[in-house]
Structure 1
Amino acid sequence: MKIGFVGLGAVVQTAYLPALAALAEDAEIWGFDPVQTLPGVIQAQSLEALLALPLDRLVIATPSLLHLPVLEQALASSIPLILVEKPVVASLAQHDRLRALLADPAVAGRVLALDHWMARSAVQQLLCGELDAGWQPLTDGARVRPATILDVAEVEGFLLEPCGIDAQGHPFALNFATGEPDKRIFHHPDGVILDIGTHVLAMIRELLVALGGDDSLHLAAEGVSDRLGNPIERGDLSTAEGRACLRGEAAGVPLTLWLDKYAGPGVEKKGLSLLLKDGRRLELLRSGNQAWLHHHENGLVQSWQLEGPLYRHCIAQTLLAPVPVAGWGGATARRLREVGLLLGLQQDLRGPH
């Protein structure tokens, strides 16, 4: 397989390349980045030169504002599948432009708006009787009864990230892959609503759709503050949100999302909790390269564990997998709907911009 990358930044270095080394060591990897090269990546001299190659897959991993311009150029090539890192677009104008492009089935069939939390699919697998063999049981128990969207009472998602504390007592972010201090100063629009809210929404919406839910989605933001705990003032187009709670419904199911990039030293909670109308509760949790699935019923808990980097699972299911018979159009439309809603929440919070 011949794979091209536009942009060779942190996500390519820390996630894609290690995953490809483990899963597809014979892959021929090309890349274009105007400011850097990487070992093991054959450097194209220009974006046009990269797009002229007979690539099987293209990954757009540029800064988010450049996703759409690069995608439009890539769609003029013969590359059969183009994966765009999250968020697929970075403004409401870009959202509307991409939605118009995707109205053409020929375009929609070639684009996958990728969020690696889409690979966190163990809850729907378990409830549909198809838990992946990679999940190792930690407890004994009977076969889990199936469920559909009609059985779901509510769902809660959370992405609470550990942080460091500097000499002034202020929190600072940690690198998502290495845990090392991330000294970047985050600015709007790259606060938690758009940056990590996309992850939690992608995971939960794929769960609800797999259980038979529709694509409806409604959310409002509350409790939004910056990294120091100060509220975001209307008209502030600079300060990034550090924390937020989003409440509403997805597929008619009550939904709450907890987002916090500065939860505290050692504080980490990444996943979801699904409550069924019969009282059962399912949890999907992750830390580092390990994930856990728990099924609670009548005081008894069944548990499973999965090893391996999340990006490795995602890349195996998307970049390296055959395109599904129905294509990726449904998933891409959901990612675009989510990003549009999150961008709208930022508009509501800060005022039109």
Structure 2
Amino acid sequence: MRRPETTGLIVRQKSPLNLEFQFSSLADWQIPVDQFYVRSHFPPPGLHEEDWRLSVEGAVERPLALSLEALKALPQARFPAVMECAGNGRVFYEPAREGLQWQNGGVGNAEWSGVLLRDVLAAAGVKPEAVEVILVGADRGVVDGGKKTASPGPIAFARSLPLDKALSDGVLLAHAMNGEPLTPDHGYPLRAVVGGWFGMAWIKWLAAVRVVPRPFRGYWQARDYFRWERGLGEPMLVPLDEMEVKAQIAQPVNGATLRAGEPFRVFGAAWGGETALALVEVDTGEGWRPARLLEPETRYGWRFWEHVWTPPRPGRYTLRCRASDAAGHVQPAEQRSDAESYCANWIIPVEVKAVAVRPGPADDFVI
């Protein structure tokens, strides 16, 4: 398949290709495919539908090798879901952290179509000893461990899901995105969609589903994409899973000039993990005020929000937004210290300037 045009996307890395959506251009609830961010650890493996098969193996009664046609013959499902790179917002860490320097566009919302993973597992028959399901991509390569860890050699990109998540109605093996077949950069012919979880779990170019009787400890599970859990005992490394509750401002952009005394629509999107979004608030310098949540409301999709604000006088202003979910989690004000270079969900302020306006002979002009 031919790579589509990606005009307007920000190139974060050329090989493998990593592209960031310009969040300030946010307009469509479903991000068009050619504007959706791309996160790849290795180049696309160049799969062809006629040769490709999905293997289902391990702790199952009936190992399977399914063609795309066979998958499409199973009951089909579709739902919208927001996918966020676990490194989205990394550029805001201080001091700077290793990794691709995503700003706020490593995120997008789309409608995904395919077959629920649980239906595929039902066809294979999961054995009682199963505890996790490993999703394995067809992409392979050598990992540059940098300062964090030495390279384990050529490996496939793979992550696991707990069995209860794999059997939920929130995990899809998707062959279509926004009603169109997946493109090579987005995982053609099949990718995982893991509702509520960070994008590292959404394995692209899916090649194998392995049901296993013990927790997976592969490179991408145990040596990257983790956070620290600090309880009463020794700190523990825990694999990343659910997205954190978060709101971002799309407009105005940082450094924008507004007109004092004229209404302006402060606008953005908010999302979280498994728990429903409850509230978005905006602070323009006078304390937190509820923003208006816009439709539609879905289980795994994001919510647009807006707050109409009139700068009262010329000057500089700091705009902030924060999201809360139904479980009481509130977007934090400060940078987090438990997630290496990931989960950058703290409040990022937007600085703007309001200027005086006076009518000219033909039109208004800004002084």
Q: TM-score, normalised by structure 1?
A: 0.28
- Higher gyration radius (CA): 2
Kindly indicate which of the two structures has a greater share of residues assigned to helix.
Answer: 1
Structure with bigger strand share is 2
